[in-house]
Copies of this chain bind each other. A is one copy, B any other.
């Protein structure tokens, strides 16, 4: 049985060292893979974090290798399997894992965008429940859909939908958790819609913004130009770097959680020359303490219309609306194309029965079958996309109504419980 925070002694303190890395472990495709995984294992072995959370470990064999290598400092480990290729998520823990679960995102790109391949992975959020020093700790690890073009981001709606599902999953599964920790590659910049939605809905705090001592690249970038594996053209709109990997946390009222230090690698291996991945590793030291509540650090909320939560829920609902319109357009288009393919097949059958020009019929048979089947598959896919987006939009609409009701009843518009007082808050990013 886990003690509730109320029963713990006032001088209680829990220190938690967390490691997060998108490990860029893609068989046959990513450079120096075996060497990097070996060095990652050595580093994790040496540092002995409480938790090491990894994304993009696409090779289960590599996970099993790491598991063997890390068996002493991290006796508990889990690999989250999903989709066709996998979720790429795994975790190594110094402490026993009490419970495991996962949620695979409903929408994750398009199967015909083969060169982007996200659809073939089962992008997901993994959940581990740990019991530490009498506290229930819910640890989440995730990786959202990649952003291939900032100017024309065709996956924006799906990423916002994923951010909402992530927020919902955390909200519903962490109701009895004393401490919530989310690490991962969100593929979103700090001010992006999905990132704001996630933070406002769950009340999670950003370790980079809250760290008392931050050591790492300017603005906390987690993909930097100095990293030899980063393609410079991918960073072209942001020549110095981007911040898309996060450590986020919160604690129940009555517990204070603070980020003592956050270290981010700077394009090099922390101890050697070449980096561990094309992403930078995040290493956070969190401290959980117990004591009477202090003044809330949240800025005072303005009138109803200005509430951050209702605003971001409205924005997300609007983005979902645009996505639904696009999905419906594609469904209709693919429906007509399927009909055309079927019509062509019927005509070819009539021609064949009527002993018409058989060579023409044979030549057109394949394209007609291809059109009917291909467009049919696209039709079904976009039907599924529409249903998924409509479901999420309805949930957003409901959350918005409830948030408004809460605001009308009192001055506190946040759905999420207020996190404990944070120390050493850093300035908000621009």
When the two chains form the complex, which single residue of B80, B370, B394, B395 contacts A391, counting CB atoms closer than 8 Å?
B80
User: Which single member of B103, B122, B366 contacts A103 (CB below 8 Å)?
Assistant: B103
Contact A398 B127 (CB under 8 A): no
Q: What is the CB-to-nearest-CB distance from A277 to chain B, in angstroms, rounded to a whole number?
A: 23
* A268 interface hit (Cβ, 8 Å): no
Task: Knowing A366-B365, A366-B369, A383-B84, say if A100 contacts B395 (CB, 8 Å).
Answer: yes
- Tell whether A274 is near chain B: CB-to-CB under 8 Å: no
A78-B394, A99-B172 known, 6 other contacts, Cβ within 8 Å: A78-B398, A80-B391, A81-B388, A99-B398, A101-B172, A120-B380
A387 interfacial contact with B, CB 8 Å: yes
Distance A380 CA – B377 CA, assembled complex (angstroms): 14
Interface flag for A363 (CB, 8 Å): yes
User: Could you mark each residue 357-377 of chain A with 1 if its beta carbon is under 8 Å from any beta carbon of chain B, else 0?
Assistant: 000001101100110010000
| Chain B residues whose C-beta falls within 8 Å of the C-beta of A80 in the assembled complex | 391
User: Is residue A173 within 8 Å, beta carbon to beta carbon, of the partner chain?
Assistant: yes
From A370, which residue of chain B is reached at the shortest CB distance? B369
Shortest Cβ-Cβ A-B pairs, 4 listed = A175-B176, A81-B391, A172-B173, A81-B387
Residues of B within 8 A of A363 (CB): 362
In this assembly, does A212 line the interface, its C-beta being within 8 Å of a C-beta of chain B?
A: no
A168 within 8 A of B: yes
In angstroms, how far is the closest chain B Cβ from the Cβ of A168?
A: 5
Q: Give Cα A216 to B257, complex, Å.
A: 55
Least Cβ distance of A251 to chain B in Å? Answer: 16
Protomer copies: 2
A residues neighboring B (CB under 8 Å)? 78-84, 86, 97-104, 106, 120, 122, 127, 168, 171-173, 175-176, 362-363, 365-366, 369-370, 373, 380, 383-384, 387-388, 390-391, 394-395, 398-399, 402
List 25 interface pairs A-B (beta carbons < 8 Å), by A numbering. A81-B387, A82-B106, A82-B388, A82-B391, A83-B384, A83-B387, A84-B380, A84-B387, A99-B171, A99-B172, A99-B399, A100-B394, A100-B395, A101-B168, A101-B172, A102-B391, A103-B103, A122-B384, A122-B387, A127-B172, A173-B175, A362-B362, A365-B366, A366-B366, A373-B373
Least CB distance from A323 to B in Å reads 14
Interchain nearest-CB distance for A144 vs B (Å): 18
Instruction: State the CA gap A102–B78 with chains docked (Å).
Output: 25
Taking the closest CB of chain B, its distance from the CB of A89, in whole angstroms, is 11
Kindly list chain B residues whose C-beta atoms are within 8 Å of the C-beta of A362: 362-363
Q: In the complex, A79 Cα to B399 Cα: how many Å?
A: 15
Q: CA–CA, A398 to B101, complex, Å?
A: 10
A167 to chain B, nearest CB (A): 11
CB distance from A164 to the nearest CB of B (A): 10
| A126–chain B nearest beta-carbon distance, Å | 10
State which of B81, B176, B390 has its C-beta within 8 Å of the C-beta of A81.
Answer: B390
Q: List, in ascending order, chain B residues with CB within 8 A of A168's CB.
A: 101
CB-CB < 8 A to A100: which residues of B? 394-395, 398
Which one of B97, B106, B383, B384 contacts A398 once the chains associate, using CB atoms below 8 Å?
A: B97
Chain B residues with CB under 8 A of A81: 387-388, 390-391, 394
Q: A81 CA to B168 CA in the complex, in Å?
A: 16
Q: Which residues of B contact A380 (CB under 8 A)?
A: 84, 120
A384 touching B172, Cβ below 8 Å: no
Q: Report A239 CB to chain B, min CB distance, Å.
A: 39
The closest CB in chain B to the CB of A391 belongs to B81
Shortest Cβ distance from A80 into B: residue = B391
- By a CB distance below 8 angstroms, the chain B residues around A387 are 81-84, 86, 122
Contacts of A122 in B (CB 8 A): 384, 387
* Cβ–Cβ < 8 Å partners of A369 in chain B: 366, 370
